[in-house]
Amino acid sequence: MYSNQPPADPRVARARRPWSLRRRLIVQLAALLALVCLVVGVVTEFALREFLIGQLDNRLSAASDRGSKGSSDRPPWTSGGRPPPDPLRALGQGDGTLAVQVHGASADGKVLRSVKGRMEFQEVPSEDLRTLLRVPPNGTKRTVDLGSLGDYRVVAGHNAKGDFVLVGLPMKDLAETLWRLGFIFAAVAFGGLVLAAAVGAATIRRTMKPLDRLAATATRVSELPLDRGEVALSERVSDVDTDPRTEVGKVGSALNRMLGHIANALAARQASESRVRQFVADASHELRTPLAAIRGYAELTRRSRENVPPDIAFAMSRVESESARMTTLVEDLLLLARLDSGRPVVHEPVDLSRLVADAVADAHAAGPEHKWLLDVPGEPLEVLGDAGQLHQVVINILNNARTHTPPGTAVTATLSTQDGTVRLRVADDGPGIPPEVLPEVFERFARGDNSRSRAAGSTGLGLAIVAAVVAAHRGRVSVQSRPGWTEFEILFPAAPAHR
């Protein structure tokens, strides 16, 4: 069967892989802490910025007061030609202070700069001066971007002579303070997140150990063979994980109660199966004697020299054939009952090559209308087991192919070995097994089609015996079928080499 869908991208498969609860908790904890740190950092930055701007505005008000009290036509810190030796102390203005004054039709602007320990005045560029002149002289403090000069906090008004006077202080130090605080806070927050994630991972791992113990208990229970046989379901959650006052304890207590119910159900099922097996075994054993007597008397009648009416002869022949078929059925049921009871199988070296060859020869004698092909290696292939039961396995597989395929069908038995495993394959080119029957071919009394009738000699137990015997020999059996081809494959562990 071909599909038009492209192969799945392994990267997409990895991306869709669900996260464990532990990983989700750690990631959510780290994300929550990161969000808290982000909120704290943003609020701190804004609060500090408002605080620093308030301090800057206070300084700006003081500088504006000193500037508006000048008596000359120029700002007091720019008048008098050369500045004094210590202009910061003499003029009372800080480094980077900006002043703009419009007197009459003229406008000038100066920025006080400290160069190599000396104070100098720098002219404000014309485009920035035009920006400053557009500031309303209402005494409101505002922030202005002056391009190459940077951001300034400015206030404009009129002096006693009615001149437009603007004073500004640089915001460079304020920005540097905020950036430095941001970097420090980011570094501290990152370190705190790493530490919190490590501590949180250890804490969550320790907290989730009870869940791990519950999962381990459930895993051990899931690995038990609960489908058949006697099961001792002794797995339970420890008392430390069953405290009903905790969430994990509630789950552990509920799991213990569930395991108790399962154990009771398994015990009841085992008891019922044991009774059924014992009944089948006893009934099969008891039926063998009367069936042997019926067959004996029927055969005696057939061999009698006295003339028997034709209808009586036909009836006795039917009694003999049906008693033979019923004897086979009883023997099969008895064998299944023994296998179900778990009786140990005799493990002796068996040459499977010779056994398969003899079985194919017997099948050829029983069904000469079929084509029987054999493909076995020249050297012996040995397995450990019961020779009689293994021979019955091969005979049942071959009889199944002979019974349910038309004459002329080719049946091929192939025996091979690889990696310590002996593989027996029996394939035919018959009509195949119906798809709806294929999953149940190894069930007891399963019949695939109308050809599986009592007249054909089928009891519906042949493949069930095959599956039971193979399982008792620690092997595996499987079947694949489609119209025109059916193959049974049996795998046995090879016998260890003789030394």
Question: Is residue 167 a contact partner of residue 60, using CB atoms and an 8 Å limit?
Answer: yes
Residue 26 banded pLDDT, cuts 50, 70, 90:
confident
Residue 499 banded pLDDT, cuts 50, 70, 90:
very low
pLDDT higher than 90, residue 302: no
Residue 371 banded pLDDT, cuts 50, 70, 90:
very high
Residue 11 banded pLDDT, cuts 50, 70, 90:
low
pLDDT tens digits for range 237-286? 887 877 788 887 888 888 888 888 888 887 887 777 777 767 777 777 77
Question: Is residue 150 a contact partner of residue 171, using CB atoms and an 8 Å limit?
Answer: yes
pLDDT at 33 (0 to 100) = 87
Helix or strand (DSSP H, E) at 374: strand 371-375
pLDDT higher than 90, residue 332: no
pLDDT higher than 90, residue 7: no
pLDDT at 498 (0 to 100) = 56
Q: DSSP secondary structure string, 63-128?
A: HHHHHHT--SSS-TTT-SSSPPSSHHHHH---TT-EEEEEETTEEEEEEEEEETTEEEEEEPPHHH
Question: Is residue 95 a contact partner of residue 116, using CB atoms and an 8 Å limit?
Answer: no
Share of the chain above pLDDT 70, in %: 80
Most confident residue range from 144-148, 307-311, 422-426: 422-426
What is the layout of strands, in order, in the sheet containing 485-493?
A: 371-375, 410-418, 421-428, 485-493, 476-482
Residue 331 banded pLDDT, cuts 50, 70, 90:
confident
pLDDT higher than 80, residue 89: no
pLDDT at 490 (0 to 100) = 92
What the block records as the tokens of 143 is 């922030």
Instruction: Please identify which residue in the block is written with the tokens 């700006």.
Output: 60
Strand partners, 5: none
Return d(Cα 430, Cα 437) in angstroms, integer: 16
pLDDT tens digits for range 210-234? 888 888 888 888 777 776 666 677 7
More confident residue, 47 or 335: 47
